[in-house]
Chains A and B, each alone.
Chain A
Amino acid sequence: MKKSLMIGLITASAFFGVTSAQASGALIPPEEFASDPQIPGKMLGDNCSACHGTLGRFYDESMPPLAGIPRDVFIKLMQDFKNEVRPSIVMNHVAKVFTDAEIERMADYFAAQTDRPWKEEDVLKGGQ
């Protein structure tokens, strides 16, 4: 009851668009979504591409690349961002929405990507 009311409120405030600013900070804990159908690692990880590059494969002035990052390192980083142990301007707010299992699936996804610049990829041949 309480939960659905909260969701209702957030949606309603966002309906008026501008007032969604006031909803700033209201986090629905990721655990509340833990029993939903699983979001695959690729679906989760491809949300990162606008900053970290396609498949996490930009190696330049963009944010750090994610392709090929060892699973453990990714998990440690994301958990530290999520728990605000490692302060960051954006990543604390990015990381706190994910369940532990989702972080692990993203870790698997990025660990499996070729750690070479995307611009060198022969897209049509494949060979990810």
Chain B
Amino acid sequence: MNNLTRRELMKRFGAAGLSLGLFGASKEAWSKSAPHIVIVGGGIGGVSAAKYLRILDKNVKITIIEPNKEYIFCPGSNEVLNDFTSIEELTVNYENIKSRYAVNVIEDLATDIDYSAKKVKTKNSGTIAYDKLIVAPGPDYKFSDIEGYSKDLAEGDFPHAWKAGPQTLKLREQIHSMPQGGVVAISSPPMPYRCPPAPYERASFISEWLTRHNPTAKILILDSKNSFTFRKHYLDYWTKARGYGTKDAMIEWIPMEKGGKVTQLDAANNTLVTADGERIKADVINIIPAHTAGKFAHATGLTQGNEWVPIDPMDYRSTLDKDVFVVGDATESSPMVKTGYLASNHAKAVAQSIVNELAGKPPVQPLYTNNCVALTGEDYGMTITDTFRVKDGKIIKQYGHQSTELDNDALHHIRASLAMNWQRAFRRDIFE
């Protein structure tokens, strides 16, 4: 691979699209002795790992296993609901990762790991041997926590839209075709789930669309928590812009302690049932289910009987197997929250650790930041700055700051454009 010119690589991996057969071709391209780093999951964590690995090491062989042709970013996907952005804008493909970074992308689902033989099994492409394995499957959803809800219903008339894609578009269409004065009910999940402020961001963007097109409609947030990230900001914005707290309020938020926890879906009657037995009928129902680690992490025993994958925070190495690393939403990383920003930073630590280990160098002390953004509207942004260090094998939150200023339109405006900028820069940092 050292001797391969860029043009040759382009020819092999580029435009025409890489088919499964290329896995064979790659053997030609890379010397047989090159260490093989296999990555399960071509989302934010997995692709960050591939890209940052390649930046550090031109000689390893890198393979991503991912069933989808394209990746649709979740950050920004709430803004699709009010046509503030589009799914196309959030969609990227793997061409760049293949051609520019010489990463082999296999379009398939990984199904199992043979730890002793160091092989990953796939649904259609046989088994793939690895020297180091990075697992980044994201979360799975616990539909069964809400009686009557299911994956099928989520893919049908009750989208959760917590993975950007067809469900996001379905939810958008449902909101846009709702009768005048209709009700949208959002069930917000218990912690931990990815992007803690996003259910409230979602309610805000839906309310923006409704204000323009369906001003007598209502949004009811039924919460399985008693508080949420950026609550002060959201309540402030909803009070000023959406009549929150008055009888004409467009948005109502019902915390768990006031009976907000949803326990059941009566799909036939478009009705949610709460823990107190109250029945709430709505025109659009958006249940964001509780999360657990992605199926693959459970099926392979990486979760070791837990909801999330235990890792050593020094380099996100699985505590089950020293040649397997797990990054992103699937990991037990508290006190970190589950964000793309952090998933990409886990991946950088893994890349550095693998490269050092292959070179016989000692591991590197990590640092993980989560400098994230959120929006309530086109003109109102918020920022969060978290820093995590690792000491004695534990993740320590060195600092966590959330923007607090309420009555400052200029600041809200700057933070909103910062947030939009961040979304674009972040997509490019992972995929460009």
- Interface set of A (CB-CB < 8 Å, partner B): 7, 10-11, 14-21, 23-28, 30, 33, 36-40, 42-44, 46-47, 49-55, 58, 61-63, 89-90, 93-94, 96-97, 118-119, 122-126
Contact = CB atoms under 8 A, between A and B. Distances in A.
Contact of B422 (A50, A54, A119, A125): A50
A40 B367 CA distance: 10
Contacts of A96: 399
A74 B303 CA distance: 42
Given A43-B349, A90-B385, A94-B369, A18 B401 contact: no
Interface of B: 4, 6, 9, 51-52, 54-55, 58, 100-102, 191-192, 196, 225-231, 334-335, 337, 341, 344-345, 348-349, 352, 364-369, 371, 383, 385, 387, 389, 391, 394-404, 411, 414-415, 418, 421-422, 424-426, 428-429, 432
A94 B371 contact: yes
A50 B371 contact: yes
B221 to A, nearest CB: 14
A52 B365 CA distance: 22
A95 to B, nearest CB: 10
A26 B371 contact: no
Contacts of A54: 51, 55, 428-429, 432
Contacts of A21: 227, 229-231, 402
Contacts of B58: 124, 126
Contacts of B402: 21, 24
Contact of B385 (A14, A20, A93): A93
A7 B357 CA distance: 31
A36 B418 contact: no
Contacts of B400: 14, 20, 23-26
A39 B422 contact: no
Contacts of B389: 33, 36
Contacts of A122: 6
A51 B425 contact: yes
Contacts of B422: 50-51
Contacts of A58: 425, 428-429
Nearest to B229: A21
A37 B57 CA distance: 24
Nearest to A33: B389
Given A27-B398, A53-B428, A89-B418, 9 more contacts: A18-B196, A18-B226, A39-B364, A43-B352, A46-B52, A54-B55, A58-B425, A124-B58, A124-B102
A124 B4 contact: yes
A68 to B, nearest CB: 17
B399 A89 contact: no
Given A10-B335, A43-B349, A33 B391 contact: yes
Nearest to A90: B383
Contacts of B52: 46
Contact of B371 (A51, A53, A119, A124): A51
A107 to B, nearest CB: 16
Contacts of B429: 49-50, 53-54, 58
Nearest to B223: A18
Contact of B401 (A44, A93, A124): A93
Contacts of B426: 50-51
A58 B395 CA distance: 30
A79 to B, nearest CB: 17
A91 B191 CA distance: 28
29 contacts: A17-B334, A17-B337, A18-B191, A18-B225, A20-B335, A20-B337, A23-B400, A24-B401, A25-B401, A30-B398, A37-B365, A38-B365, A39-B366, A39-B367, A42-B352, A43-B366, A47-B348, A47-B368, A50-B422, A53-B428, A54-B51, A54-B428, A58-B428, A90-B383, A90-B385, A94-B371, A96-B399, A124-B6, A124-B58
